[in-house]
Amino acid sequence: MSEEGRHGEVKAHLISDSYSLLKRKACRSTQQREREKEKRERAMDSSESHMATLPEDDADSDHPQQTSPSAFDSVPQRPPSNKSSLEKYLPVDWSIYFDKEQDVAIPNSNDVFHVYMAGTEGPVVFCLHGGGYSGLSFALSASKIKEKARVVAMDFRGHGKSVSDNDLDLSVETMCNDVIAVIKQLYGESPPAIILVGHSMGGSIAVHVAARRSLSTLAGLVVVDVVEGTAMASLIHMQKILSSRVQHFSSLEKAIEWSVRGGSLRNVDSARVSIPSTLKYDDSKKCYVYRTELEKTEQYWKEWYEGLSDKFLSCPVPKLLLLAGTDRLDKSLTIGQMQGKFQMIVVRHTGHAIQEDSPEEFANLVINFISRNRIGPHGVEIPGLRKPAFSKP
């Protein structure tokens, strides 16, 4: 064979080999496309099978939902209905946190005060709520405190389930008498060691009761988020604040939701148990309204807080002031704190109702206060501190 013939044969083989290589690549590409197609079809079948389990498919069977061919697409979640969105705001019964409730009738009057109780031994942590709240604002913290002490949370007149001849008489004199009368009816002439715990308006009443020195076994005082200067300055805004609230609620769930979304409370679990007790159903309006008509009690607001700092410092028992923010202490409190006359703790990341927004931290602070001051059987001996004379359970 000539040289030219051999070159032609080699060239033909090279062309044939190149064609075969291209053919094999094309075949592999076709096979790969077939496999990817099968993979997409399996993904679609799986997606359709998954969607068949959704409850809305039964209603929409005549109009099947289109699916994406991508195996990475996920089935979108069904938007929650109004019913499901309100489920987390369903009311919760008080019995989850307290052990019992009791109506305390006051002799020679028509007044009956409702109290909630938890725990069976130890000193009594007697809780006084703020204006417009109820004893159930201490529910979550009570479930923790009762491990070391007894808890009694009272509904003031005009609040919660308490009834009286005059629900609008929220004067300091009247409310102090109510507290002392309830304690006397519960424990007679030999009450156990008592720690008064008061929030906001209740803090003022706790201070005034303690300053009277009429409770022989008073062993401690805890005031929650109320300082005279700040409170007095806020009074001029109170009517506007009260009138700007939502005044009517179609359901308890809506009221609970508003309290959390509106910012008055930050703990939905606490709101679910406490908010219903601050409302009543108005048959004429077919809706829920506020149980307490605070806007009609303005004549008493000033006396709640005027002179409170000096009265607080004069109370002859261990004292704890819990604040939700860095309220500026007035001159009397500043000097008193520097002299060690009371303990002050700022609780971060809470609103006005510390006991509701951070119930576990609040409970721990109260328990530590009891222990630190050796009140009751769970008190501890701390060198350098004098043991109170009345520490019986």
- CATH number of the domain within which 300 lies: 3.40.50.1820
Could you tell me if 45 and 19 lie in one domain?
A: yes
Query: Quick check: is 384 in a domain?
Result: no
Confidence (pLDDT) at 153 = 99
3-state secondary structure of 196: strand
Give the C-alpha separation, 85 to 202, whole Å: 34
**Domain contains 206:** yes
* Number of independent structural domains in the chain: 2
- CA dist list (Å): 180 to 201, 223, 262, 301: 16, 17, 35, 21
Q: Which of 34, 60, 78 is the last residue of a domain?
A: 78
Q: Taking the CB of residue 244, how many other CB atoms lie within 10 A of it?
A: 9
Give the residue from 170, 130, 171, 174 showing the smallest Cα distance to 154.
Answer: 130
For residue 329, the tally of other CB atoms under 10 A from its CB is 20
Stretches in the chain below the pLDDT threshold 50: 2-23, 25, 43-76, 78-79, 81, 380-393
Let me know whether 271 and 312 are in one domain: yes
- Do both 64 and 97 map to the same domain? no
Assess whether 303 and 276 both reside in one domain. yes
pLDDT for residue 85: 73
pLDDT attached to residue 28: 55
In contact, 222 and 213? CB cutoff 8 Å: no
pLDDT value of position 7: 46
Q: Which domain holds residue 18?
A: 3-78
Burial of residue 33 (number of CB atoms within 10 Å: 0-12, 13-18, 19+): exposed
Beta strands in 85-186, from DSSP E residues, in sequence order: 100-105, 112-118, 124-128, 150-154
Describe the chain by its helix, strand, coil percentages, rounded to 5: 45, 15, 40
The residue out of 32, 53, 78 marking a domain boundary is 78
Instruction: Please indicate, yes or no, if residue 393 is contained in any of the structural domains.
Output: no
Say whether both 317 and 241 belong to one domain.
Answer: yes
Residue 226 in domain: yes
Do 185 and 230 have their domain in common? yes
* 90 and 74 part of one domain: no
Does some domain include residue 296?
A: yes
Residues 26, 101 share a domain: no
Q: What is the per-residue pLDDT for 58?
A: 40
Taking the C-alpha atoms of residue 238 and residue 298, their distance in angstroms, rounded to an integer, is 9
**CA atoms of 322 and 307, how far apart (whole Å):** 19
Spell out the residues 6+ positions from residue 242 whose beta carbon is closer than 8 angstroms to its own.
Answer: 294, 295
Does any domain span residue 322?
Answer: yes
Which of 78, 99, 114 is the last residue before a domain boundary? 78
Asked whether residue 54 falls in the same domain as residue 102, the answer is no
Domain shared by 152 and 288, yes or no: yes
Q: Is residue 354 one of the residues assigned to a domain?
A: yes
pLDDT of residue 328: 75
Residues ≥6 apart with Cβ < 8 Å to 181: 106, 111
HSE value, Cβ hemisphere, 13 Å, CA-based, for 165: 8
Strand stretches in 133-225, DSSP E: 150-154, 194-199, 218-224
Catalytic residues: 200, 225, 352
The predicted structure's pLDDT at residue 97 = 98
- Indicate the residue type of 125: V
**Cα dist from 212 to 146, 170, 204, 375, whole Å:** 27, 18, 13, 20
Q: Which two tokens stand for residue 10?
A: 């080699």
Residues 17 and 144 placed together within one structural domain of the fold = no
Q: Is residue 330 part of a domain?
A: yes
Which residues, other chains included, contact 41 with Cβ-Cβ below 8 Å and sequence gap of 6+? none
Burial class (CB within 10 angstroms; exposed 0-12, middle 13-18, buried 19+) of 281: exposed
Regarding whether 108 and 48 lie in a shared domain, the answer is no
Write the CB contacts of 248 (distance below 8 Å, at least 6 apart in sequence): 282, 285, 287, 288, 289
Alpha-carbon dihedral sign for residues 240, 245, 246, 247: negative
Cα 287 to the center of its chain, rounded Å:
24
